[in-house]
Structure 1
Amino acid sequence: MSRTPPGPAPSPSSAPPSSPQLSLFDEAPAAAAPASPSRTPVPAPPAPAAPAPNVLTPAVFRHPQAERELRLGDHVVAYAFRRARRRSIGFTVSTEGLAVSAPRWVPLSEVDAALQAKASWILRKLQEQRSRAQRLASSRIEWRDGTSLPFLGETVILVLDPRATGAMLNTDGQALPGVPRLTLHVGLPQNAAPEQIRDVVQSWLQRQARRVFEERCQHFAHKLSVRMRRLSLSSAQTRWGSASADGSIRLHWRLIHFAMPIIDYVVAHELAHLREMNHSPAFWDVVRSVLPDYEQHRGALKDDVLPAFD
């Protein structure tokens, strides 16, 4: 999901929570951004950079609730439109497409003019969402014996093994280069339903996530001289992590798919907020004090897509 960049259009639409929270990718709110629909967080190979709008193949981008359409450059954009009690025009680009909201008094010609003014940004975000949807489709897990999924940056092969209890990770220290050395033995019969396999594996991954996150939080809390009062696992749609001023840390359990350096970045990022509840230069100095190369891991995390768990 993408929101309008800073500009003269939309205005903020929601009040901050009573307890200050900062997500991993929170930034200063854009004056033009309405509240955005959620998207499934969903890690796989780094995504290719989205092409610039002026080199895109002419395409049609159609929102399922489209009521109006407009030609932006060489592309047709059919967008959902509604009138709202607001003071400015708002744009939201999500996996569904472009949605526009406008005050009742703004004529449609002014709405179209605002869209043309933001055409480059809108087309870029629509292409990013389309590319993301394609990557998600290709990363969808087929829940069966022999399927694979990422765990701590490595590939794990699932083995349905009725002799196993729950799920048990085996390591093959003699695995050949390029051959996965990890197998997860799941205590289910060969004819187990995909939903059964998914539920057992997801439960195991969440247990591993809590174990790993607790250890890394203790490590970085000590290095940063902060006190974490509570750690909880999250399934948030749009955040990898968040921190509250009361010392509570929330981390998305599916971070367990990533290699440890990326997990460490998220953990250090959120714990740094217990010293600087913002994204100021002082905050990034705190992160850098424990992770000098944090920018590399931050970029990798933004580019990755989690495997689909449906």
Structure 2
Amino acid sequence: QFLLGESDVGQNRAEASQRALAELNPYVEVAAHTEELSEAFLASFQVVVLTESPLEEQLRVGDFCHAQGICFIVANAKGLAGQLFCDFGEHFVVVDPAEGDPVCAAVQHISQGSPGVVTCVGTEDSRSHLFCDGDLVTFSGVEGMTELNGREPVPVHVLDAFRLEIGDTSSFSPYRCGGLVSQVRLPQVHSYEPLRRALAEPKIQVASPEELPRSHSLHTAFQALHAFCREQGRLPRPRATVSPCPAPAQPPYLPQPCPGLPSSLCLQVDAERVLELARNLGARQGPLDEDVVRAFASVSVGDLCPVAAIAGALAAQEALK
């Protein structure tokens, strides 16, 4: 939507967007593809991102990408809700698993013992240590207990804001002065599930337990919305109490009027139908917040630039990985 204007109405969206995208960076080649997303075409990419795709296409492309080791991302924005799915394969290496620079602290003292205790330089208002239990650290510039310099990374146990346990130092030379203790981040290998399996057995992570029912309900609502589009050939009418009759199943799945047809064909309540479909899915996946599903269905036909911007930014961030 950000790339299109009134003059583009009636044109192929891929071709119209290609012209605007190409102007953003002349050093990046941008090509428009208006044919079917065939396996031969998909095989030429390292990353595939789908937006506004029917669930059947998502599953087909997702299965192929997972089997071929192609990173696969799905991004959707419907009304006030967004959805993002990532499948980076069964062996995806994260070189830097944490944000920001590795932690580094000046050493004040290191005891001889089992375990040895490292005291770091801090301030009186320090309330928590920069290191965490299990962090791997190395030492440099230590005088006296030089056995620590250049050693392989060792795990630490945090005692308080200034002290770390590092293992047995009883056989090392006495500490004299100086030195730095630095966090080491080793690459991590992650395994991702394909979309088909993730939909059947979702693993939803939330900041607090109170958010889980809402997140789970939105996850189910998106699937129910796909089922509604397959059934009705369109998205639910906005805040409608009564839906129109089914329209032809073709993009963009917008509500269509049904002139000349008996009103008995137009008596299905859209939001309630989405809720019914969600109940059928939710029975296998857990409790459902029905108010969340109704609200989602009632505004799902809307395309809001702020929501699309957030979903697009997150998808772009994942693609850069």
User: What TM-score bracket applies, with the shorter chain setting the length?
Assistant: under 0.3
TM-score, length of structure 1 as denominator length: 0.25
| The structure with more strand, counted as a fraction of residues | 1
TM-score, length of structure 2 as denominator length: 0.25
Greater length-normalized contact order (CA 8 Å, ≥ 6 residues apart): 1
